[in-house]
């Protein structure tokens, strides 16, 4: 924000007098109103000296701002023309001409403006501080000092400056908006909200104030208040793609997914949706089980952002597998395979293919998928565990144990692999071996049911050979 260094126009004061609510009837002694009876008039216990207020208003405010001396004004007129042409020389000349003199607050203010506009904010800050120290009611000096501190990200002190400006009657939309931003940055959210509301009241279509207030409402999950602001922002800035995605996210947070779909579809039709917004639309189709629309949307997203489309559609496919909707998952996975991925980029797809084939009991296809992963990443934990389950399902128990043991060495699959190994050991009546794997599994994550089962296995291990184990 640039300051007008030589502007001495006084901004009209906009006092905002708001009547504070009086105390309730229960507190001031009045009985509660009866049914169908008007409430008793409230008695304000505060003593207001109305005569003093009226009498003080007779005298006009004088000396609203300080003035420069005649000598200072002469220097100002000589130097001001040089600032735009040769600022360095002008500043040196001014320093020489004012050496040994004590500047007035007005001249300190002028010096601050000149130094600020010529890229010397540290020197400008000193002059602004001198001006407000010498003349505490100098509102424009407080404003410029606040802006300078704002630009330096010193929001705490900037907020103090703007608070003084507003309290002295300069409650313009700009000052209120700057104060609100500084209050927000320093964690005073309620005060920031109040000032943003006043700023929006004075400048209803200011995108900055609307966005600041919106961020506060979203942060505090006041979605009912945030929605009208988003509607206004999308009207004021229809080309800002972020607004559409944020609006849809708000509707999803309120569990209004169909409304969110409608918003995103409209934005997509107008080509006002970025890749993240399109990915959100894909995910919404998937969560609402609009499977045909989801696959079409993912295919469209792949044209714009292949990596983003792959990760989102892969998550969709995995959720379908988890829900045992294998035919739908097979269709979605087929769309992914059409993209022709290869190398390590294909690992997530081949893992999903393996899981799908296990669900469909297509053991040979599952083995092929997992083997592709192991060829690229021999210690991939999910591939080791998947291959072990394929071998177990096809009764290749020796090979299954080998893969389960390798999976048990990987942190992400250790517990599941240990439980599988324990089950194989129990089936072959190798109870000490089973006990060892069960103890490893419970050490990773405690489970009361598993601990009870371990206690039974310990009993069997300690019992004479041939004692059956209850499962």
pLDDT for the residue 399: 93
pLDDT for the residue 385: 94
More reliable by pLDDT, 345 or 11: 345
- Length of the chain as a residue count: 471
Task: Check whether 156 has a pLDDT greater than 50.
Answer: yes
Q: How many CB atoms lie within 10 A of CB 440?
A: 17
Task: Check whether 3 has a pLDDT greater than 60.
Answer: no
Task: Check whether 18 has a pLDDT greater than 70.
Answer: no
Q: Are 302 and 315 in contact (CB under 8 A)?
A: no
Cα separations (Å) of 455 from 71, 271, 414?
A: 99, 63, 21
pLDDT for the residue 182: 93
Q: Please compute the mean of the pLDDT values over residues 308-328 and round it to a whole number.
A: 81
- Both structure tokens of 432: 């000490």
Please state whether 343 falls in left (phi above 0), alpha (psi between -120 and 50) or beta.
Answer: left
220-228 long-range Cβ contacts below 8 angstroms, 24+ apart: 220/189, 221/253, 223/250, 223/253, 223/254, 226/250
What's the pLDDT band for 50 if we cut at 50, 70, 90?
Answer: very low
Task: Check whether 171 has a pLDDT greater than 90.
Answer: no
Q: Please compute the mean of the pLDDT values over residues 429-433 and round it to a whole number.
A: 90
More reliable by pLDDT, 349 or 291: 349
What's the pLDDT band for 288 if we cut at 50, 70, 90?
Answer: confident
pLDDT for the residue 397: 92
Q: Over pLDDT 70: what percentage of the chain?
A: 78
What's the pLDDT band for 295 if we cut at 50, 70, 90?
Answer: confident
More reliable by pLDDT, 445 or 119: 445
pLDDT for the residue 358: 92
Task: Check whether 329 has a pLDDT greater than 70.
Answer: yes
Instruction: Please give the distance of CA 389 from its chain centroid, rounded to a whole number.
Output: 42
- pLDDT, one tens digit per residue, over 209-251 is 899 999 999 889 999 999 999 899 988 988 888 888 888 889 9
What's the pLDDT band for 28 if we cut at 50, 70, 90?
Answer: very low
- pLDDT, one tens digit per residue, over 342-401 is 778 788 888 988 999 999 999 999 999 999 999 999 999 999 999 999 999 999 999 999
pLDDT for the residue 160: 92
As to burial, measured by CB atoms within 10 angstroms (0-12 exposed, 13-18 middle, 19+ buried), residue 287 is: middle
In terms of average pLDDT, the best of 47-61, 69-83, 122-136 is: 122-136
* pTM for this model (two decimals): 0.56
More reliable by pLDDT, 54 or 393: 393
Give me the half-sphere count of Cα atoms (radius 13 Å) on the Cβ side of residue 70: 0
Task: Check whether 148 has a pLDDT greater than 80.
Answer: yes
Task: Check whether 152 has a pLDDT greater than 60.
Answer: yes
**How high is the mean pLDDT of the chain?**
79
Residue-wise DSSP of 304-340? H-HHHHHHHHHHHHHHHHHTT-HHHHHHHHHHHHHT-
Task: Check whether 196 has a pLDDT greater than 50.
Answer: yes
Name the least confident of 130-134, 189-193, 313-317.
313-317
What distance in Å separates the CA atoms of residue 7 and residue 395, rounded to the nearest whole number? 89
More reliable by pLDDT, 314 or 148: 148
Q: Please compute the mean of the pLDDT values over residues 430-445 and round it to a whole number.
A: 91
- pLDDT, one tens digit per residue, over 57-111 is 344 444 566 676 776 667 666 666 666 667 777 777 776 766 666 777 887 888 8
Q: Are 413 and 385 in contact (CB under 8 A)?
A: yes
pLDDT for the residue 24: 38
Q: Interior CA angle at 250 toward 287 and 183, to 5°?
A: 150
Cα separations (Å) of 323 from 49, 181, 313, 355, 373?
A: 74, 47, 15, 12, 24
Largest CA distance in the chain: 114
More reliable by pLDDT, 162 or 93: 162
Task: Check whether 169 has a pLDDT greater than 80.
Answer: yes
Q: Over pLDDT 90: what percentage of the chain?
A: 30
Task: Check whether 33 has a pLDDT greater than 70.
Answer: no
Task: Check whether 42 has a pLDDT greater than 50.
Answer: no
pLDDT for the residue 23: 36
Task: Check whether 126 has a pLDDT greater than 80.
Answer: yes
pLDDT for the residue 373: 93
pLDDT for the residue 112: 84
pLDDT for the residue 339: 67
Q: Collapse the DSSP code of 446 into the 3-class scheme (helix H, G, I; strand E, B; otherwise coil) and give the result.
A: coil
What's the pLDDT band for 1 if we cut at 50, 70, 90?
Answer: very low
pLDDT for the residue 468: 57
């Amino acid at each position: 924000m640039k300051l007008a260094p030589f502007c001495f126009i006084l901004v009209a004061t906009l006092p905002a007098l708001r009547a504070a609510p009086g105390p309730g009837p229960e507190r001031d002694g009045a009985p509660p109103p009866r049914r169908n009876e008007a409430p008793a008039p409230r008695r304000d216990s505060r003593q207001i000296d109305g005569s003093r207020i009226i009498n003080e208003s007779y005298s006009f405010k004088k000396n609203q701002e300080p003035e420069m001396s005649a000598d200072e004004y002469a220097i100002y007129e000589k130097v001001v023309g040089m600032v735009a042409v040769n600022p360095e020389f002008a500043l040196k000349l001014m320093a020489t001409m004012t050496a040994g003199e004590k500047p007035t607050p007005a001249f300190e203010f002028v010096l601050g403006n000149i130094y600020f506009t010529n890229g010397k904010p540290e020197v400008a800050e000193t002059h602004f501080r001198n001006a407000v120290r010498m003349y505490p009611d100098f509102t424009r000096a407080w404003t410029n000092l606040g802006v300078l501190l704002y630009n330096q990200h010193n929001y705490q002190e900037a907020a103090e400056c703007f608070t003084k400006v507003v309290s002295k009657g300069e409650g313009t939309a700009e000052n209120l908006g700057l104060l609100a931003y500084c209050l927000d940055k320093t964690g005073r959210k309620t005060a920031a909200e109040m000032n943003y509301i006043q700023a929006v009241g004075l400048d209803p279509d200011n995108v900055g104030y609307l966005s600041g207030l919106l961020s506060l409402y979203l942060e505090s999950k006041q979605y009912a208040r945030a929605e009208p602001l988003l509607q206004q922002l999308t009207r004021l800035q229809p080309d800002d793609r972020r607004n559409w995605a944020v609006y849809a996210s708000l509707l999803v947070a309120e569990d209004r997914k169909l409304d969110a779909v409608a918003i995103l579809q409209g934005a997509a039709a107008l080509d006002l949706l970025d890749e993240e917004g399109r990915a959100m639309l894909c995910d919404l189709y998937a969560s609402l089980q609009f499977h045909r629309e989801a696959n079409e949307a993912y295919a469209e997203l792949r044209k714009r952002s292949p990596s983003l489309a792959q990760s989102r559609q892969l998550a969709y496919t995995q959720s379908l597998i988890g829900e045992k909707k294998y035919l739908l998952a097979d269709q979605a996975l087929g769309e992914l395979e059409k993209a022709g991925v290869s190398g390590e980029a294909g690992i997530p797809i081949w893992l999903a293919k393996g899981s799908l084939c296990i669900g469909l009991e297509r053991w040979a296809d599952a083995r092929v998928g997992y083997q592709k992963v192991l060829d690229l990443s021999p210690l991939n934990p999910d591939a080791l565990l998947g291959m072990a389950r394929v071998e177990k399902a096809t009764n290749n128990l020796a090979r299954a144990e080998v893969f389960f043991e390798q999976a048990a060495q990987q942190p992400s699959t250790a517990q599941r692999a240990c439980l599988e190994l324990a089950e194989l050991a129990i089936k072959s009546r190798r109870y000490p071996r089973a006990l060892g794997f069960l103890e490893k599994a419970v050490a990773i994550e405690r489970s009361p049911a598993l601990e009870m089962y371990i206690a039974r296995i310990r009993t069997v291990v300690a019992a004479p050979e041939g004692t059956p184990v209850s499962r």
